[in-house]
């Protein structure tokens, strides 16, 4: 078929597809589109099916999967690897929308292998960029960044400026995800420059919004997001406009201009209520509630915060749920709703502990995986070295059968090589032991930080409970009998929670695992101590302040001074000796 005839058939395909799209809008069926695809040649039919896939992938997944299967069949008939790569690409797009990024990466990677083997730079660049987007969805931001940078390198080699700016945008997002805001801004500004040069207003608005969302200069961020919102509005891009308006609200929130923040949140809220994203609506309600609370409008703030907490809990967004509970219990206390504040605080405290425990396990698992990987790599190296050693011995033996002189030389050479390999193996084993020791040290440091965080959290909790108890006592002195009864019950609940023996047992267990010989050493050196004195000594060992220790032990500042004095006396310290310095040094 001549080039002119090929163009003619492509033009016919385009007309048929446009006609079919009109027909589909009337009959609301993808089958009518499928029936109108030309069957002139397998190649033209494959291209038409490929184009149809992009149209149907979101609207009709089962129909799309059917025509993807036909594309695989046609690509096999044609024995065309590049056509097969195109099918892998649309299959990856299908999985991105309907099953998840993992499956999408599998097919994008298969397409990439073909494009690289065929030296098809455009296809390889596109697949690297697609894989980068999927990795970003999976939270692998470093991996995503590497893929986007590889895509940028290929597109720059091709001189494809129309696509380069899109990759710069993806790279900016990746750098933002790993909190490298300077590099993110640099790539966003390249997108902005290209958008201005090509007079692409929507891309310009995207770049302005992205830059505004990472700037620390809040007034400048407001200006950029307002310009972006105006452009989105002129193009009827409602949801993008909504995102820019909310960003302006956040900037005013950071500037503590809460009335202005609420003004912009109010513009966004009706649109957010219409969206299907519960998570987006919930975080907006939390921001609104927080701004209202800062203005002293607790009666308006509490319903918004409570609804935000309910929505986040219902969809399992527990990290944002914990953040919402934290601001909610403070707002409830400020509104005088102490029982609610107390119960919300307990819920926040327990859920926050659970999330931290999960994060600890994930970090430990990651360290263990890294260690096991290094260990296996070392074993492989040792095995390879042993194989090489055996090979050297065999060669030396065969050489010896030929000539005694060569045998003597071969033996000497083999021994030299053997010593080198043994030294290399010993050095590798030494490195493995060093890595094991470093891993143990990292684990111990991690446990120390975790224990300190828990103790400080306990201090914060007891400080809050003590404050709450004082306010309840004040309420008791100025209220009737029914309120007094409720106040006594709440105080008992506070006391029970504050004096939780299990928390002390858990603290003692974790403290002993980190400072293994501390209790035995101090007892052997200074004699027996009471349980209270040992607790005080343990907290001093952690280098905590007197204020934090007083909060944890639920005693006054005067009480902590007396406790320190009794401990000094028990240890027989002179007046000039620093109690805490001595205990820390044990």
| Span 48-76, pLDDT tens digits | 877 777 777 777 778 888 878 888 888 88
Tally of structural domains, the chain: 1
DSSP 8-state class, residue 473: H
**pLDDT on residue 441:** 79
Residue 378 within a domain: no
What is the token pair recorded at 27?
């009959």
Q: What domain range is 544 assigned to? A: 515-586
In a domain, 139, yes or no: no
Residue 391 lies in a domain: no
Q: Report the alpha-carbon distance of residue 278 to residue 309 in Å, rounded.
A: 11
Angle (CA) 317-320-322 rounded to 5° is 105
- Tell me the pLDDT tens digit for each residue of 363-384: 444 445 444 555 555 565 666 6
And the tokens for 536? 């005080």
Answer whether residue 519 is part of any domain.
yes
Gap between the Cα atoms of 95 and 424, Å rounded: 48
Q: Does residue 432 contact residue 376 with C-beta atoms inside 8 Å?
A: no
Write the CA distances from 14 to 5, 20, 41, 52, integer angstroms: 14, 10, 15, 11
Residue 90 has a CB neighbour count (10 Å cut-off) of 21
CATH of the domain at 557: 1.10.10.10
419 domain residue, yes or no: no
Q: Residue 455: inside a domain, yes or no?
A: no
DSSP string, 527-576: ----HHHHHHHHHHHTT--HHHHHHHHT--HHHHHHHHHHHHHHHT--TT
Task: Dump pLDDT digits (tens) for 386-401.
Answer: 767 766 777 766 766 7
Predicted confidence at residue 4, as pLDDT, reads: 39
* Token pair in block for residue 17: 């597809």
The pLDDT tens digits for 503-562 are: 777 888 888 888 888 889 999 999 889 888 998 999 999 888 888 888 888 888 889 999
Question: How many other C-beta atoms lie within 10 A of the C-beta of residue 369?
Answer: 10
Tokens 């692409």 label which residue? 200
**For position 426, what pLDDT does the model report?**
83
Q: Is residue 50 part of a domain?
A: no
Residues of the chain with pLDDT under 50: 1-28, 358-367, 369-371, 499
**Is 571 domain-assigned?**
yes
Among 273, 218, 271, residue whose Cα is nearest residue 241: 271
Answer yes or no: are the C-beta atoms of 287 and 250 closer than 8 Å: yes
- CA-CA distance, 263 to 138, in Å (whole number)? 35
């Amino acid at each position: 078929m001549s080039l002119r005839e090929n163009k003619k058939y492509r033009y016919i395909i385009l007309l048929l597809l446009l006609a079919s799209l009109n027909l589909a809008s009337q009959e609301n069926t993808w089958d009518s589109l499928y029936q109108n695809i030309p069957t002139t040649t397998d190649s033209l039919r494959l291209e038409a099916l490929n184009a149809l896939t992009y149209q149907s992938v979101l609207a009709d997944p089962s129909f799309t999967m059917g025509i993807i299967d036909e594309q695989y069949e046609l690509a096999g008939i044609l024995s065309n690897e590049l056509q097969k790569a195109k099918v892998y690409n649309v299959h990856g797009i299908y999985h991105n929308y309907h099953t998840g990024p993992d499956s999408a990466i599998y097919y994008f990677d298969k397409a990439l292998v073909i494009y690289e083997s065929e030296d098809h730079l455009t296809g390889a660049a596109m697949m690297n960029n697609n894989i980068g987007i999927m990795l970003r969805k999976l939270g692998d931001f470093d991996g995503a960044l590497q893929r986007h940078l590889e895509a940028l390198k290929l597109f720059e080699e091709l001189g494809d400026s129309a696509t380069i700016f899109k990759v710069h945008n993806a790279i900016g997002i990746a750098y933002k995800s790993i909190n490298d805001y300077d590099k993110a801004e640099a790539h966003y500004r390249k997108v902005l420059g290209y958008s201005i040069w090509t007079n692409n207003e929507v891309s310009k608005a995207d770049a302005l919004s992205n830059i505004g969302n990472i700037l620390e200069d809040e007034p400048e961020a407001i200006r950029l997001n307002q310009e972006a919102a105006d452009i989105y509005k002129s193009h009827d891009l409602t949801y993008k406009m909504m995102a820019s308006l909310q960003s302006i609200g956040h900037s005013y929130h950071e500037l503590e201009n809460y009335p202005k923040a609420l003004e912009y949140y109010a513009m966004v809220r009706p649109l957010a209520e219409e969206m299907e994203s519960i998570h987006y609506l919930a975080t907006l309600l939390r921001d609104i509630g927080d701004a209202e609370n800062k203005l002293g409008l607790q009666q308006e703030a509490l319903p918004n915060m409570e609804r935000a907490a309910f929505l986040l809990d219902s969809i399992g967004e527990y990290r944002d749920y914990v953040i919402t509970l934290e601001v909610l219990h403070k707002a409830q206390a400020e509104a005088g709703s102490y029982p609610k504040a107390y119960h919300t605080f307990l819920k926040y405290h327990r859920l926050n502990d659970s999330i931290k425990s999960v994060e600890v396990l994930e970090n430990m698992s990651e360290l263990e995986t890294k260690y096991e990987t290094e260990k296996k790599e070392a074993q492989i190296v040792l095995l390879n070295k042993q194989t090489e050693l055996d090979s050297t011995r065999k060669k030396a033996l065969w050489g010896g059968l030929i000539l005694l002189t060569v045998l003597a030389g071969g033996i000497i050479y083999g021994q030299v090589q053997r010593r080198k390999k043994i030294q290399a193996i010993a050095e590798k084993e030494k490195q493995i032991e060093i890595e094991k020791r470093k891993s143990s040290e990292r684990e111990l440091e991690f446990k120390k930080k975790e224990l300190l965080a828990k103790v400080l959290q306990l201090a914060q909790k007891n400080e809050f409970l003590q404050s709450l108890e004082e306010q309840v006592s004040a309420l008791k002195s100025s209220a009737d009998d029914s309120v007094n009864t409720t106040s006594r019950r709440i105080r008992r609940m506070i006391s029970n929670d504050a004096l939780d023996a299990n928390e002390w047992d858990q603290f003692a267990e974790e403290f002993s695992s980190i400072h293994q010989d501390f209790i035995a050493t101090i007892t052997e050196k200074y004699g027996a101590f009471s349980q209270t004195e040992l607790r005080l000594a343990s907290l001093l060992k952690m280098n905590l302040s007197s204020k934090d220790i007083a909060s944890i032990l639920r005693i006054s500042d005067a009480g902590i001074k007396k406790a320190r004095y009794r401990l000094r006396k028990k240890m027989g310290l002179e007046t000039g000796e620093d109690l805490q310095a001595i205990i820390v040094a044990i």
